[in-house]
Chain A
Amino acid sequence: EDQVTQSPEALRLQEGESSSLNCSYTVSGLRGLFWYRQDPGKGPEFLFTLYSAGEEKEKERLKATLTKKESFLHITAPKPEDSATYLCAVESSGTYKYIFGTGTRLKVLA
């Protein structure tokens, strides 16, 4: 059964303190791995798509990487406005649905 596990559940960082969020996945055939950001009371906002092991994507202070078993979202020198829940999802071959993890709640303190 396809499964996505995210860790840690919650993370508190000081402004400027870099860290990484983990997304471990089990899927029959990976069609794509996706990172989203979600603010309270809003829908998820698309960040990145990764398709194959070794692929990396960057956007401002965020960098996503992918291996055959997990993905990392690296946050470099975070700012308070980076505070949000970060969700990881996978799409497997033979299905149209995303399987989401439970997310990592990130709080960046000024």
Chain B
Amino acid sequence: DTGVSQDPRHKITKRGQNVTFRCDPISEHNRLYWYRQTLGQGPEFLTYFQNEAQLEKSRLLSDRFSAERPKGSFSTLEIQRTEQGDSAMYLCASSLISNEQFFGPGTRLTVL
């Protein structure tokens, strides 16, 4: 257990529905990252927060994806109008300095 928690651990939804995932980082970590991982691939960067500011966002991320980190603590990732191609493991990581990212257990999304 790294101290990073994610909720829910599994989510099954129907195509077209909206889903929201939560990440609670290690309490003193000011940096928070979201990644997406599909089978047989490494994690793919989605977005980065430093405190409450979203400083970087992947160009691959469509307008259906949005992330927030109010008050610089927990973060949420929302996917609107889900598609079957969104099925993946969504990973959250946190760090105190710009290395040694600690990952949570992930949320596995299945879109039917």
- Decide yes or no whether A43 CB sits under 8 A from chain B: yes
- Decide yes or no whether A74 CB sits under 8 A from chain B: no
- Is the CB–CB distance between A100 and B48 below 8 Å? no
Choose, from B14-22, B71-79, B80-88, B94-102, the stretch at the interface. B94-102
Majority-rule SS of A interface residues: strand
Choose, from A13-21, A58-66, A90-98, the stretch at the interface. A90-98
Q: How extensive is the interface on chain A, given as a class?
A: 20 to 34
Which residues B1-28 have CB closer than 8 A to chain A? Answer: 2, 4
Listed by A's residue number, 17 A-B pairs whose Cβ atoms lie within 8 Å are A31-B98, A36-B103, A41-B106, A44-B43, A45-B2, A46-B2, A91-B98, A95-B56, A96-B31, A96-B33, A96-B48, A96-B50, A96-B55, A96-B56, A98-B101, A99-B45, A103-B42
